[in-house]
């Protein structure tokens, strides 16, 4: 059965889904964003990515996609068999998607970083060079507007850095001596956090990247997730794993 992912790996949520597919050894086709209108085309209900298509069925929202993948390909599971552990993992996945994401957005669209962010997003689209300045303006207006409405981007950068540092320290405490969060193998929580850390490390937010790099436990954890969910786990396109 064919598996298709619609979206850009600049998105932490797309990266989360891609890493889940790698972990499960499921082959897929990634359809990248070509123009802003693609969001509504692929996902009329939400206008957001990622979208997963499996055998004609489209699934929206990265958390719902992970649940669907666990139904289709149970091994390895994306959440622990122990309900108490799984509850912690699901809570951390949700916190990463709904709270940490806005810290990342605030850094990306803060005054020192917004031009580099708009350039990165616009540059990821296969558009003629003469359109890039226009697309940068559209991207900045639409996406920064969301971040401004949420509120964190309104904080001074030093205050924002202090707050993110506190959240990262709390993650170090939660990680403890385990190789992954609450378990000895990666879960949806690790994949969600990894996606956000990838966005932090993608270039336009050196201040946030420095905060992560200053915490060796998180650096080592990120390396473990990267190695465990490497693309080399996925079969070649000619030998994709059947799903369902």
State residue 33's pLDDT score: 81
For residue 224, give every residue at least 6 positions away whose Cβ sits within 8 Å of its Cβ, in sequence order, or none: 179, 180, 186
Give the chain's domain count: 2
- Same domain for 191 and 88: yes
Residue 112 belongs to some domain of the structure: yes
State residue 244's pLDDT score: 43
Question: Among 188, 148, 157, which Cα is nearest to 23's?
Answer: 188
Q: List the CATH number of the domain containing 13.
A: 3.40.30.10
State residue 233's pLDDT score: 62
Residue 43 belongs to some domain of the structure: yes
- Same domain for 128 and 15: no
State residue 130's pLDDT score: 72
- Same domain for 179 and 100: yes
- Same domain for 166 and 102: yes
- Same domain for 130 and 218: yes
Question: Among 7, 10, 18, which Cα is nearest to 225's?
Answer: 18
Residue position matching structure tokens 């964003």: 33
Residue 244 belongs to some domain of the structure: no
State residue 242's pLDDT score: 40
Question: Among 102, 101, 103, 79, which Cα is nearest to 91's?
Answer: 79
- Same domain for 152 and 62: no
State residue 1's pLDDT score: 66
CB 49 within 8 A of CB 33: yes
Residue 44 belongs to some domain of the structure: yes
Give one DSSP letter per residue of 139-178, joined into a string: HHHHHHHHHHHHSGGGS-HHHHHHHHHHHHHHHHHHHTTS
End-to-end CA distance of the chain: 7
Question: Among 176, 186, 219, which Cα is nearest to 89's?
Answer: 186
State residue 148's pLDDT score: 80
Q: Which residues of 109-120 are buried (b: 16+ CB within 10 A; e: fewer)?
A: bbeebbeebbbb
23 CA to centre of own chain: 15
- Same domain for 179 and 74: no
- Same domain for 25 and 73: yes
Question: Among 88, 84, 72, 71, which Cα is nearest to 188's?
Answer: 88
CA-CA distance, 11 to 59, in Å (whole number)?
Answer: 17
- Same domain for 106 and 186: yes
Q: List the CATH number of the domain containing 147.
A: 1.20.1050.10
- Same domain for 137 and 71: no
- Same domain for 49 and 157: no
* Distance set, CA 231 to CA 4, 28, 61, 190, 202 (Å): 15, 11, 22, 16, 18
- Same domain for 97 and 204: yes
pLDDT averaged over consecutive 10-residue blocks of the chain (244 residues)?
89 96 94 78 81 92 96 96 98 97 94 89 75 72 77 93 98 98 98 97 96 98 96 53 43
| Residue-range definition of the domain harbouring residue 33 | 3-78+234-239
Question: Among 175, 195, 196, 172, which Cα is nearest to 184's?
Answer: 175
State residue 239's pLDDT score: 34
Adjacent-strand bridge partners of 180: 183
CB 90 within 8 A of CB 98: no
Residue 184 belongs to some domain of the structure: yes
State residue 123's pLDDT score: 77
């Amino acid at each position: 059965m064919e598996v298709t992912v619609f979206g850009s790996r600049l998105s932490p949520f797309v990266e989360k889904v891609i890493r889940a597919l790698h972990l499960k050894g499921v082959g897929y086709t990634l359809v990248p964003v070509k123009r802003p209108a693609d969001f509504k085309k692929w996902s009329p209900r939400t206008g957001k990515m990622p979208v997963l298509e499996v055998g004609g069925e489209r699934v929206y929202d990265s958390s719902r996609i992970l649940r669907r993948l666990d139904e289709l390909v149970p091994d390895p599971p994306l959440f622990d068999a122990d309900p108490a552990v799984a509850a912690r993992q699901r809570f951390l996945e949700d916190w990463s998607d709904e709270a940490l994401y806005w810290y990342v957005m605030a850094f990306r669209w803060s005054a020192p970083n917004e031009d580099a962010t708009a350039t990165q997003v616009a540059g990821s689209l296969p558009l003629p060079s003469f359109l890039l300045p226009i697309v940068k303006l559209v991207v900045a207006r639409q996406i920064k507007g969301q971040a401004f409405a949420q509120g964190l981007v309104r904080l001074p950068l030093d205050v924002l850095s202090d707050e993110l540092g506190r959240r990262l320290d709390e993650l170090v405490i939660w990680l403890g001596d385990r190789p992954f969060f609450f378990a000895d193998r990666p879960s949806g929580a690790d994949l969600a956090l990894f996606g956000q850390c990838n966005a932090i490390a993608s270039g336009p937010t050196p201040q946030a990247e420095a905060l992560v790099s200053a915490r060796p436990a998180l650096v080592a954890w990120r390396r473990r997730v990267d190695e465990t969910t490497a693309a080399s786990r996925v079969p070649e396109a000619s030998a994709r794993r059947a799903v369902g």
